[in-house]
Structure formats: structure tokens, C-alpha cells
Amino acid sequence: MQNGYPSVVDSLRKVGSGIIKLYEARLEIILIEAREEIERIERRLILLELLGFLLTMGCICLTGFGVVLLGRALGYAWAFAIFAIFYFVAAVAGFLYLKHERQVRSEPFSQTLREFEKDAEHICAIIEQEKQEQPRESEARSRVASFL
């Protein structure tokens, strides 16, 4: 401290330690969000694998049953064609649904990244404010010195 005022180094040290503490807290939040995202994805993958297996087994049984029933009435070639068209239409519908879901869902960590941007703007505003205050202090000192 010089003449009751903090020095530039002290101010920079305070700003630096504040920034480090701020970003340390933000990084902890990112790690927590990453763990939650990983757990959510793991649960979803396990459930999707189970559902995929069960759906495949059901489709195999249903297709065999349908081919036998339709094969006697329409012929086996038409029965296979009907089921092939049905499965292709279902696959396209599933693909379009996944594409829609991906567009609707927000990106992971978007909230945290917005918080980082706000923090950076706030820190820049504080630094700019300190830069504007420092010339005022030196002007005041020079006026007092010239008065004396």
C-alpha cells in the first residue's frame, strides 16, 4: 500500500485470485455436469440395448408368423415383400425421429458456457472500471501536491 491506496500489484493480485476462485468453482460445476451427463448416457444406452434386443426378438417372431399366414394366401414372395416394406418404413420413421430429437435437444454444458461468458464480461467490466479510477486518483494526488 502506498499512501493509503493499494498498489497496482495488490489490485492485480486480488483480481487474479478472484478470477482463479471463480473459474475453480465453474470447473467444479462442469465436472459435476459431465458426471451427470455420462451417467444419463450410460443408462440410456443400456435401456436402448435391452429394448433393441427385445424388439428384434419380437420382430423375428412376428415376421415368421406373418410370413406363414400371408404366404399361404398371397404367396411367400409377396409376404416377404410386405414385411420388407413395413420394416423399411419403420426404419425411416425412426431415423427422422432421431434427427428431430437431436435438433431439439440443447447442447451439453450450454448453461455453464453461458455462465463463463457472463463471468468474463463482468471481469472485463471490473478491470475497465479500475483503469478509469486509477487516472482519477493520480489526478487528485497531483492536484493536492500542486496545492501544497
Can you give the residue ranges of every domain in the chain?
Answer: 8-147
What three-state secondary structure class fits 5?
strand
What three-state secondary structure class fits 78?
helix
Name the residue type at position 110: S
The pTM assigned to this predicted structure is 0.43
In the chain, which residues have pLDDT < 70? Answer: 1-6, 105-112, 130-148
Element (H, E) at 109: none
Helix axes 110-147 and 8-74, enclosed angle (nearest 10)? 170
Exposed / middle / buried, residue 15 (Cβ in 10 Å: 0-12, 13-18, 19+): middle
Contact yes or no for 104/87 (Cβ under 8 A): no
